[in-house]
Amino acid sequence: MPSNVNLQDVSGPAHIFNEARELGANIEMHFVSMSDKFEIKSNSGLFFTRLKHFEVFELSKNDFVIIPGLKFELLNNTDFLNQSKPFFDWLHFQYSSGVNVCSISEGMFLLVEAGILNSKECNSHWNYISQLYYGFPNVNSEENRLYVAKDNLFASVGVSAGVDLSLYIIENLFGPKISSDIAQKAVLYFKRNKSDLKISIFLHHRNHTDTRIHDAQDYMLEHLSSPITNSDIAEHVNMSMRNLTRLFKKTTGVTIGTYLEKIRVDRALNLLSNNNKVESVAKLCGYKNSNQLRILLKRHKRILPKNISLLD
């Protein structure tokens, strides 16, 4: 954390990761200073104390370093930038070693100072995107994206998008079920994806209070890689198949088949975006072969990302 850190850039992701930990995820969190100061004052006046020095950590490809935003004027402060040089060198080494590096809001400019973002896609708060574009021409800035996630680099536009990014990381590490549970617990029914073009289907159709239907939806998420029938779901929630199908449509607005297809599409796109092979994605989504998956995605061709050439 830098001095004058944005309070919510720390508290938002910390809350999400702590919720994941309470749900059984194996997560350790450490709050780290960018300098020799072990107590810093946030932009909101609240102090962080008993921080750890960054050099005490030996990180691996399984670790994430999250750089929150800070008071923007500090980025023009020569003394601050010079004092932060050891941290920038350390951060660049970690990134080059495969450690996952994430920025929130103005924290992206610290990644620039560390020499991480040359010719990389990134994002920052909308208020500073033009300064990023003109001040750092070698950085590929993305204006209309909530967050960018590529390889071991992640960047989000602000505190709410930092929460979205944290949920995205949780989903990729521990699966969509726990991410969905955290979002519901935190009353984040509108978890967003990178381009904010749609609500995540893992949360869509879940803004209701019927525990039986939530149980049915959870069952589908947990068994997405297996063939699922209405009979299986009905037996799981102790309902007749007729009552379940009627109540599911009344509660969610879609049929069980439509919902199941939607979550399989969303899961497939997520896996394909992370360079998984089509054959393995098909099996993870409950299909016998890749042709079945291709047929499914052709029906949803309008939502396919441009970088997925699955339909060729």
pLDDT 10s digits, 59-103: 999 999 999 999 888 888 999 999 999 999 999 999 999 999 999
Is residue 283 a part of any domain in this protein? yes
Please determine, for residue 289, whether its predicted confidence score (pLDDT) is greater than 70. Answer: yes
What is the total count of domains within the chain? 2
CATH number at residue 29: 3.40.50.880
If we measure between CA atoms, which residue out of 94, 146, 99, 91 comes closest to residue 124? 146
Residue that terminates a domain, selected from 174, 192, 226: 174
Instruction: Quickly list DSSP for 178-219.
Output: HHHHHHHHTT-TT-B-TT-SSB-TTTTT--S--HHHHHHHHH
What's the pLDDT score for residue 122? 45
Domain boundary among 134, 153, 174: 174
Output the pLDDT for position 50.
94
Provide the 10 A C-beta neighbour count for residue 35. 17
- Under 8 Å between Cβ of 17 and 28: no
The answer to whether 220 touches 259, Cβ cutoff 8 Å, is: yes
pLDDT of residue 201: 56
Same domain flag for 127 and 266: no
Whether residue 126 sits in one domain with residue 15: yes
The confidence band for 269, taking pLDDT boundaries of 50, 70 and 90, is: confident
Domain end call among 156, 174, 192:
174
Token pair listed for 84: 């932060």
- The pLDDT confidence band at residue 237, using thresholds 50, 70 and 90, is very high
Q: What is the CATH number of the domain that holds 245?
A: 1.10.10.60
Judge if 290 and 215 occupy the same domain: yes
Residue 146 pLDDT greater than 60, yes or no? no
Domain shared by 68 and 152, yes or no: yes
Q: Which domain holds residue 48?
A: 7-174
Residues 17 and 115 in one domain: yes
Round to whole Å and give the CA distance between 202 and 192.
10
Span 220-241, average pLDDT: 92
Q: What percent of the chain has pLDDT over 70?
A: 78
Among 273, 180, 181, 260, CA closest to 225 = 260
147 lies in the same domain as 225:
no
Separation of alpha carbons 217 and 222, rounded Å: 9
Q: In terms of domains, do 248 and 158 share one?
A: no
Confidence at residue 296, expressed as pLDDT on a 0 to 100 scale: 81
Q: What is the mean pLDDT of the chain?
A: 80
What CA–CA distance (Å, rounded) separates 145 from 11? 22
Give the containing element (helix H, strand E) for 155: strand 153-156
Residue 110 located in a structural domain: yes
110 with 152, same domain: the answer is yes
Most confidently modeled of 44-48, 109-113, 288-292? Answer: 44-48
Q: Is the pLDDT at 247 greater than 90, yes or no?
A: yes
Answer yes or no: is 60 within a domain. Answer: yes
- Model pTM score: 0.60
Same domain, 85 and 138: yes
Asked whether residue 233 falls in the same domain as residue 168, the answer is no
Rounded alpha-carbon distances, angstroms, from residue 120 to 107, 123, 136, 141, 271: 15, 10, 11, 8, 22
Q: Among the residues of 23-157, which ranges form H helices?
A: 78-83, 85-96, 107-113, 129-135
Same domain, 122 and 16: yes
